[in-house]
Chain A
Amino acid sequence: MEIRISGVSKSYLAEGRTIKALDDVNLVIPANRIFTLLGPSGCGKTTLLRCIVGLETPDCGEIRIGDEIVWSKDANISVPPEKRGLGMVFQTYAIWPHMNVFDNVAYPLQVRGAAKDEVARRVAETLRFVQLEGFERRPATKLSGGQQQRVALARALVAAPKVILFDEPLSNLDAKLREETRKELRAFLGKLAITAVYVTHDRVEALALSDQIAVMRAGRIVETGTPQKIYFDADHRFVADFIGRANLVPARIVADEAGRTLAGRTLVDCGLGRIACQKRDLPVGGEATLCIRPEFIHLARGEAPAGPHAENVVSGRIESLVFVGEAYEAEIRAGDALLLARADPDAGLAEGDAVHFALAPDHCLLVAQ
């Protein structure tokens, strides 16, 4: 079911100051996809989620779930959360400690007045789906973090909601369990035709789980797109920087030199010299930021060999080298820029060594300032 949010704003009064948690948000969340709201803490992503589910009341605008308007300032519509028919997994899981697993999962069906055998059947079905068969009588407090997470998921799914919402559901798990649970969650959601709205500040989680990502900042949606688009082809400097580690170098667009054809490329001058980048419609002479991800800088030992084919080849010197386990992280001084790069542990590099590297134009991303 599609969710349409138009013109939604929400401000708080905190310590005498007004804080704009949501600032005129317009967003369409497509049906039956995993849609992620990604952003740093305090960007308003959780507030937006809570507005969708009805636990928070916006100041203005309209929220539509499917064909139903669940909130509208102008039409004076406000459907309470219990009437919206959604499922939600809370950051704390909110497993009721005075109930066992069965009662927790059965709750949404019971409050809807489902028959007893129907409740038993659907709870069993859902628990099987989240691989918690045989845990029915277990007290909720006697579950591990991962199990609690699955009980919360089962409870959100059991009443077959149109939409399921996740508020940073993995942030309370330790790193290893988080990775496993993320894969499980992806598998569970993949099997269901359901609209999932997922809130996180973890970019890896967002990239791995989502069909679509909306990056938020200061109460606004900055950019929306597929994980690949957000990662490789972001339009905004903030998004490019937030979604992954990036070397950001100020650059100026220059015109093609006569005699050389650079089809589908935009040329810039920057601290690294003249670099051919992904095609962007930017005016010649304009300022932009060149964004290069560290994993696309492949270091080779020694100075760059001079020659006519040395397009996008940059020379530099290793300023520092830090071992981080699977690789070395090197800081390279190239021209007047300092770049972060990754080097294989067996590359045999040392601090002070001269290096060179070639940049593939497809991985040289130009973003607006």
Chain B
Amino acid sequence: MANPRNKLTWSLIAVVGALTVFPVLMLMLGSFSEGLTAFGRFTTDKYVEAYTDPAFYEVLANTAVFVLGTSLLSTLLALFLAYLNTRTDIPFKGLFGVISIVPMMIPHLLFAVSWALLLNPSNGLVNLALKQAFGLDEAPFDIYSLWGMIFVEALLELPIAYLILAPAMASFDVALEESSRVCGAGTWRTLLRVTLPVLRPAILAAFTLGIVRSLASFAVPSMIGMPGRVQVLATHLYTMISTGFATDYGKAAAVGMSVLVASVTLIVVYRTLTAESEKFVTVSSRGFRPTLVELGRARMPLFGLVGLLSVALIVLPVAVLLYTSFVPYSMVPGARAFSLMGLRHWHAVLEDPITLLALKNSLFLAVAGATIGVALSVFVAYVIVKVKTRAAGLLESLSYLSFSFPGIVIGIGFMWFFVQTPLYATIWALLLGYIATYLPYGIRPMSSAFIQIHSHLEESSLVCGASPLVTLRRIIVPLLVPGIVAGWILLASMFVRELTLSVVLSRPGTEVLAIQILRYSEDGLWGRLSALGIVMILISTGLVVLATLIGNRFKITAA
């Protein structure tokens, strides 16, 4: 029994290692090379060039403000929401579940676009409306700024931060707080002296993850930063490889290396913190409902605030896109706008051959990528959970490595590789890149599914005379179905909207939806962009709804 398992472990290590370590190696080699064609000759020129560029330090400063501001804002908002939900008597708590899940269905790119449509200085809907109403000469808001970027990105990172903080706060042992109250401390002092310090690891984890994610973010910097000429590292890299005639992949690789190192370091910090926060929080008295803080007169105003936030997170982006897709050009909603509404943008989009190609490519990548990704994840998760050898531990570290890879950076690494192969500029390059980068998202639901399958279920099948393969087919896979479905849909919905890797790897002929949306925005075709955006949201939402339905149907009530 030990032998085939070892073979499986090592072949998976080879596959996952190739997918994750290889692009990093290529990135490193590339950063010491002259250029995509001069691969192989060692030079440090690119590093010198990249890091002596005075513009680089401005980019660095912008990036620091952007990621720290975003993280701080999203963590504070999430903390506020998590506290309201788990510890106070605020009404309609179902709304919090919606806030934490639904925004994930709206692609970041479109979220950024919708805020640009509302708050851009030349014809943003809110700006237009305010100018009309108050007879202003200048637009009161300019989303195309560092502050605008921080605001939008923080709203995007809010759900993730909330999903880290809310469970930590919910499983918090209330006796810790109660004893503080008995000792004579008031609600506020208890919050500051006991609650927040005990939650510190979870708060820091949310903050760190916010930094990693906004560092890798490309949607907001490209949609909001670039029009305002605010460059951060992601857009700086993008400019180097896409604009002008002198694309410089060597320089991009040199900059990318430090982004990668920063990101990996932060993820290590994040994992240490989450391990610590679990240690902190799991000592809770089960079965005791925390006493809820009565909000009193602040109850309704606070609820209004939460309602406003959920409107900004969910309703507004979709409504703005839908509205923009029907009106001929940007105008304030009213009788005139209503009379001019029509389907011309929808026609234009659905008749555009490149858009249709992008749609076809994205659907292919979603279906094929999710299928292959999940199949690979089943085996990897099996080894990680059920085979407890040192090699299995190695596989686990390898497979979670790409979690910390910023898409655009790893895309550059892949580019250095694909250029040497016939895969360059084919859909297969995108497929490989997607699977490699998003593998951890497939493995996670699968590992938790495996953890739930008691080893006795598998062993009893062996004792009954079934071979390991029959056991896999008849016992393990059927029990995994909910996890497989969840993992498939998660990957598929991520692939439908994939942007950061695609900006590097997509070439004419291999356009995908997000790239087409990016092109529309560069050409200022907001109506078409919105129409295509709605299509993207529909596909993505459809997949998530499907996942929930199938997940419920297959739910096995534990014995």
Q: Which residues of A contact B (CB under 8 A)?
A: 53-55, 57, 80-88, 90-98, 107-108, 111-112, 140-141, 143, 148, 152, 155-156, 159
Residues of A within 8 A of B460 (CB): 88, 90, 94, 152, 155
Q: How far is the CA of A84 from the CA of B466 in the complex (A)?
A: 11
Residues of B within 8 A of A108 (CB): 464-466
Confirm or deny: B479 has a beta carbon within 8 angstroms of a beta carbon on chain A: yes
CB distance from B465 to the nearest CB of A (A): 5
Contact indicator B463/A98 (Cβ below 8 Å): no
Contact indicator A111/B463 (Cβ below 8 Å): no
Measured CB to CB, the nearest residue on chain B to A98 is: B478
Stretch touching chain A among B220-228, B327-335, B513-521, B551-559: B551-559
Stretch touching chain A among B123-131, B173-181, B451-459: B451-459
- Further pairs besides A82-B467, A94-B460: 17, Cβ < 8 Å: A53-B463, A55-B463, A80-B462, A82-B463, A83-B465, A87-B463, A88-B460, A91-B456, A95-B559, A96-B461, A97-B557, A98-B479, A107-B461, A108-B466, A111-B464, A111-B474, A159-B464
* Interface contact tally, CB-CB below 8 A: 84
Measured CB to CB, the nearest residue on chain B to A92 is: B456
Report which of A80, A86, A94, A111 forms a contact with B470, defined as CB distance below 8 A. A111
Q: How far is the CA of A239 from the CA of B558 in the complex (A)?
A: 39
Contact indicator B466/A107 (Cβ below 8 Å): yes
Residues of B within 8 A of A97 (CB): 479, 556-559
Q: How far is the CA of A92 from the CA of B452 in the complex (A)?
A: 13
Report which of B454, B463, B464, B559 forms a contact with A148, defined as CB distance below 8 A. B559
Residues of B within 8 A of A83 (CB): 465
Report which of B462, B465, B557 forms a contact with A112, defined as CB distance below 8 A. B465
Interface of A is mostly: loop
Contact indicator A155/B456 (Cβ below 8 Å): no
Q: How far is the CA of A95 from the CA of B475 in the complex (A)?
A: 11
CB distance from A138 to the nearest CB of B (A): 12
Q: How far is the CA of A156 from the CA of B464 in the complex (A)?
A: 7
Given A82-B462, A141-B559, are A94 and B456 neighbors across the interface (CB < 8 Å)? yes
B 87-135 contacts with A by CB, 8 A: none
Report which of A80, A84, A88, A96 forms a contact with B1, defined as CB distance below 8 A. A80
Q: Which residues of B contact A (CB under 8 A)?
A: 1-2, 454, 456-457, 459-468, 470, 474-475, 478-479, 556-559
Report which of B456, B474, B475, B478 forms a contact with A90, defined as CB distance below 8 A. B456
Contact indicator B462/A55 (Cβ below 8 Å): yes
Most interface-central of B1, B463, B475, B478 (chain A CB within 10 A)? B463
Most interface-central of A91, A96, A107 (chain B CB within 10 A)? A96
CB distance from A16 to the nearest CB of B (A): 13
CB distance from A65 to the nearest CB of B (A): 13
Contact indicator B2/A111 (Cβ below 8 Å): no
Measured CB to CB, the nearest residue on chain B to A91 is: B456
Name the 9 nearest CB pairs between A and B, nearest first. Answer: A94-B456, A94-B460, A108-B464, A111-B466, A81-B462, A90-B456, A88-B463, A98-B478, A92-B456
Q: How far is the CA of A59 from the CA of B524 in the complex (A)?
A: 72
Q: How far is the CA of A81 from the CA of B2 in the complex (A)?
A: 13
Residues of B within 8 A of A91 (CB): 456
Residues of A within 8 A of B456 (CB): 90-94
Q: How far is the CA of A53 from the CA of B465 in the complex (A)?
A: 11
Residues of A within 8 A of B463 (CB): 53-55, 81-82, 84, 86-88, 156
Contact indicator B557/A94 (Cβ below 8 Å): no
Given A140-B559, A141-B557, are A94 and B465 neighbors across the interface (CB < 8 Å)? no
Q: How far is the CA of A91 from the CA of B466 in the complex (A)?
A: 20
Q: How far is the CA of A205 from the CA of B466 in the complex (A)?
A: 31
Contact indicator B459/A94 (Cβ below 8 Å): yes
Q: How far is the CA of A93 from the CA of B558 in the complex (A)?
A: 13
Most interface-central of B454, B465, B467, B470 (chain A CB within 10 A)? B465
Measured CB to CB, the nearest residue on chain B to A80 is: B1
Measured CB to CB, the nearest residue on chain A to B470 is: A111
Q: How far is the CA of A97 from the CA of B464 in the complex (A)?
A: 16
Measured CB to CB, the nearest residue on chain B to A78 is: B1
Most interface-central of B456, B466, B475 (chain A CB within 10 A)? B456
Measured CB to CB, the nearest residue on chain A to B466 is: A111
Contact indicator B459/A98 (Cβ below 8 Å): no
Q: How far is the CA of A143 from the CA of B557 in the complex (A)?
A: 12
Residues of A within 8 A of B464 (CB): 82, 87, 107-108, 111, 155, 159
Measured CB to CB, the nearest residue on chain A to B481 is: A98
Residues of A within 8 A of B457 (CB): 94, 96
Most interface-central of A83, A97, A155 (chain B CB within 10 A)? A97
Residues of B within 8 A of A159 (CB): 464-465
Contact indicator B556/A141 (Cβ below 8 Å): yes
CB distance from B6 to the nearest CB of A (A): 13
Residues of B within 8 A of A88 (CB): 460, 463
Most interface-central of B461, B474, B559 (chain A CB within 10 A)? B559
Q: How far is the CA of A84 from the CA of B2 in the complex (A)?
A: 17
30 CB contacts below 8 A, A to B, read A81-B1, A81-B462, A81-B463, A82-B462, A82-B463, A82-B464, A82-B465, A82-B466, A82-B467, A82-B468, A84-B463, A86-B463, A87-B464, A88-B463, A90-B459, A91-B456, A93-B559, A96-B457, A96-B461, A96-B479, A107-B466, A108-B464, A108-B465, A108-B466, A111-B470, A141-B556, A141-B557, A141-B558, A155-B460, A159-B465
Residues of B within 8 A of A156 (CB): 463
Measured CB to CB, the nearest residue on chain A to B462 is: A81
Q: How far is the CA of A17 from the CA of B374 in the complex (A)?
A: 38
Residues of A within 8 A of B556 (CB): 97-98, 141
Residues of B within 8 A of A84 (CB): 463
Residues of A within 8 A of B462 (CB): 54-55, 80-82
Q: How far is the CA of A91 from the CA of B479 in the complex (A)?
A: 20
Residues of B within 8 A of A112 (CB): 465
